[in-house]
Amino acid sequence: MGQFHSSLSPLLNGLFERNLSAGGMKKMILLRNFQLVPQRTCRSFSARSSLSPADHCTNLVKQYDYENFLCTLLLTGNVRRAAFCIRAFNIEISLIGDKTTEEHIALMRYKWWNDALHGIYNENSALKHPVVLELNKVIKEHKLLKRQFTRLLTVRSNPIPKTGFKTMTAMEAYAEESTSPVYYLILQAAGLADVNADHAASHLGKAQGLVNLIRSIPHHASQRQCVVPEDLLLKHHIPQEVFMKSRHESTKGVRDVVFEIASSGKIHLDKARQLCGDVPTAARTIFLPAIATANYLERLRDIDFDVFHHATHERSPNLGFSLFWAKLRRSY
């Protein structure tokens, strides 16, 4: 899991060939019919034709990623619109793994998005999907790099193994690849090319990505999947099965493992914040999710790193004020 393919299409094409050869004509028919998907989003968009693609993206982020929704609201003008679009794209591809149980169906959906991007960058996109329509506008307006979108697609199309990551290093690599490209794209949309901002984006991506993985532990446990790195389990003498139960009592060993992952996230968060003085003022609002990340880590600490505690699922009532105050202070 620590390594990622540099090109999405060869990876997907190879997996398609293996799946189609195993499933024969039935899967070929599925592939042909799949040009109509993702149907969930298209249906909702068609049913509410008054909703613009930009508004659709905003609502998608609000529904599935409320903390980043609040942070993005504090951006301004075209940068805010671009940020909602980029985050909506990331949500769409992240939902594939969460809502698709069959591998060949998931692969077709990833390929659909890969083809959608290819069409946009080759200026021959005819898709009416609301996120694709908005991407088409935003990518052309801000000349966003395809490479960063491809990084997001590639990491999502390499699902986390049911036995989890082999090492903490692999977990950090996944965290960065699934999060940092979002910040690079938003920085580009804002016209900010700065090495310190990029450095901060890398560390914040790792921190936020690790927090996302910590938050996902209860969900993965309900699916009998463990995302905790094997090297941490061995270090604390905890079998994987402990993190693969639908009903869970958090033991000291479990809390110690979560503490180590959270500590790694805190280290990267601190490094991102230490760069604040060197980051252009215009970029600091883009990094406001650092406030939400710190807020979660503090709440996790207050419940002794019991990731299964109900408080981990509750929204922070003061987050909106904290974000606004940080913006006024030009910090994150």
**Residue 203, phi-psi category: left (phi > 0), alpha (psi -120 to 50), beta (remainder):** alpha
pLDDT for residue 161 is more than 70: yes
Q: How confident is the model at residue 210 (pLDDT cuts 50, 70, 90)?
A: very high
Is there a contact between 239 and 211 (Cβ–Cβ < 8 Å)?
Answer: no
Stronger pLDDT, 38 or 178, i.e. the higher one: 178
What are the chain's domains?
8-159 (no CATH), 163-332 (1.10.600.10)
Q: How confident is the model at residue 213 (pLDDT cuts 50, 70, 90)?
A: very high
Tracing tokens 């601190």 back to the chain, one arrives at 270
Question: How is residue 294 written in tokens?
Answer: 């710190």
- Backbone φ and ψ for 26, nearest 5 degrees, come out as -60, -45
Please tell me the distance from the alpha carbon of residue 122 to that of residue 139, in angstroms, as a whole number: 12
Radius of gyration (Cα) for the chain, nearest Å? 20
Please tell me the distance from the alpha carbon of residue 150 to that of residue 163, in angstroms, as a whole number: 26
Residue 8: the pLDDT is 47
pLDDT per residue as tens digits for the range 70-87: 999 999 999 999 999 999
What's the burial of 305, exposed, middle or buried (CB within 10 Å: 0-12/13-18/19+)? buried
Task: Give the mean pLDDT of the chain.
Answer: 87
Q: Residue 211: what residue type?
A: V
pLDDT for residue 319 is more than 90: yes
pLDDT per residue as tens digits for the range 88-142: 999 999 999 888 778 889 999 999 999 999 999 999 887 899 999 999 999 999 9
DSSP state at residue 160? P
pLDDT average, residue stretch 52-69 = 98
Please tell me the distance from the alpha carbon of residue 27 to that of residue 32, in angstroms, as a whole number: 9
CA 203 to chain centre: 15
pLDDT for residue 46 is more than 80: no
User: Which string of b and e fits 33-53 if b means at least 16 CB within 10 Å?
Assistant: ebeeebeebbeebeeeeeeeb
With a CB cutoff of 8 Å and minimum separation 6, the contacts of 210 are: 171, 172, 175, 261, 262, 264, 265, 268
Residue 108: the pLDDT is 94
- Which stretch of 6-20, 188-202, 287-301 has the lowest confidence by average pLDDT? 6-20
pLDDT average, residue stretch 300-323 = 93
Stronger pLDDT, 82 or 314, i.e. the higher one: 82
Residue 101: the pLDDT is 77
Residue 163: the pLDDT is 77
pLDDT per residue as tens digits for the range 250-292: 789 999 999 999 999 999 999 999 999 999 999 999 999 999 9
Please tell me the distance from the alpha carbon of residue 116 to that of residue 127, in angstroms, as a whole number: 7
Q: Residue 247: what residue type?
A: R
The pTM assigned to this predicted structure is 0.85
Residue 49: the pLDDT is 56
What's the burial of 22, exposed, middle or buried (CB within 10 Å: 0-12/13-18/19+)? exposed
Residue 38: the pLDDT is 53
Is there a contact between 115 and 65 (Cβ–Cβ < 8 Å)?
Answer: no
Question: How is residue 193 written in tokens?
Answer: 């090319």
CA distance readout (Å), 234 to 167, 211, 307: 10, 21, 19
CA 148 to chain centre: 13
